[in-house]
């Protein structure tokens, strides 16, 4: 039984930076309580905004087991391995474990060091496939040692990570000083992604034989056209000129080099027609 905590609370972390740990703990416990699964032996997977030794120990005492990536600067972590370049972690696949009662901390070298914390797992290792560059310049898949802790986290948080990845595509977010505006547009992005997923699952929109499924980009473009299609016009604004155009602008056209990159009237009218 697993449960993934997925919220947008990290959008407003700057506003509550002084109470980040307490905020994250309250969010997780409120989600479990709201879902009615608190204290029932569920496995909870969360990202590094929420994971902390205090939270995982508290959940363990309430018979809820948790796992997640963790920020290396959290209080209560083993400092000998929870750092950017821990000793002995050099090559891809290197790992180190530390355990304190139910808490298991691990650092694993992939492209970069990954740190995680769990009350579900032990020091068991498994293998994962990675595309690695060979000496001759080609790329090939190889099996790389990996803690089962991180392999399970990747498996159960895969949907969340994929959603975060999709939300970065074709995003219209802009910098703003108002955090409420950022939350609003983030919610719009999530609504667009949810609508796309429902669209793919709808039996009325399945692609026919020989047709490809609508991509996320095409879906986004269709939303844009639907929103602005009835509010745009290709008609030229302003009063029409009462003066007749010179013959050189409508008939004979001599090319020449001009400092401006603007189109001449003849070229514009030809392309427009």
pLDDT in tens, 79-97: 888 887 788 888 888 888 9
Non-local CB neighbours of 49 within 8 Å, separated by 6+ positions: 9, 10, 13, 24
Residue 119: CB atoms within 10 A of its CB come to: 20
Q: Bridge-partner residues for 113, per DSSP?
A: 109
- Distance of CA 168 to CAs 11, 45, 48, 218, Å? 14, 22, 19, 15
Q: Which of 148-162, 173-187, 227-241 has the lowest mean pLDDT?
A: 227-241
Residue 2 has pLDDT above 70, yes or no: no
Q: Could you tell me the residue ranges of all domains in the chain? A: 2-151
> Could you tell me which residue, 135 or 246, shows the higher pLDDT?
135
Tell me which of 81-95, 100-114, 136-150, 248-262 is least confident: 248-262
Amino acid 9: pLDDT: 37
Q: Return the structure tokens found at 60.
A: 């363990």
Q: Give residue 6's pLDDT.
A: 44
More confident residue, 176 or 194: 194
149 Cβ contact partners less than 8 Å away, ≥ 6 residues apart = 67, 104, 106, 116, 118, 120, 121, 124
**Residue 128 host element (H or E):** strand 125-133
* The pLDDT of residue 12: 36
């Amino acid at each position: 039984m697993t449960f993934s905590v997925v919220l947008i609370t990290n959008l407003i972390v700057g506003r509550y930076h002084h109470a980040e740990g307490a905020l994250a703990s309250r969010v997780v416990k409120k989600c479990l309580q709201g879902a009615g699964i608190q204290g029932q032996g569920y496995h909870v997977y969360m990202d590094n905004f929420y994971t902390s030794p205090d939270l995982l120990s508290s959940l363990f005492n309430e018979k809820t087991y948790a796992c997640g990536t963790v920020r290396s600067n959290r209080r209560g972590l083993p400092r000998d391995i929870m750092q950017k370049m821990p000793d002995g972690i050099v090559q891809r696949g290197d790992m180190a474990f530390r355990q304190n009662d139910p808490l298991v901390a691990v650092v694993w070298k992939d492209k970069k060091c990954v740190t995680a914390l769990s009350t579900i797992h032990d020091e068991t290792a498994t293998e994962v496939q990675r595309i690695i560059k060979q000496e001759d310049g080609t790329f090939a898949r190889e099996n790389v040692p990996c803690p089962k802790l991180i392999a399970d986290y990747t498996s159960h948080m895969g949907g969340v990570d994929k959603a975060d990845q999709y939300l970065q595509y074709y995003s219209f977010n802009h910098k703003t000083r108002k955090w409420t505006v950022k939350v609003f547009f983030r919610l719009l992005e999530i609504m667009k992604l949810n609508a796309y997923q429902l669209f793919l699952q709808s039996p009325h929109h399945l692609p026919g034989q020989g047709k490809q499924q609508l991509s996320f980009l095409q879906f986004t473009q269709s939303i844009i056209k639907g929103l602005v299609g009835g509010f745009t016009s290709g008609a030229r604004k302003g009063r029409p000129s009462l003066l007749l155009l010179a013959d050189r602008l409508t008939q004979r056209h001599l090319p020449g080099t001009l400092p401006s990159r603007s189109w001449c009237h003849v070229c514009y009218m030809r392309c427009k027609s």
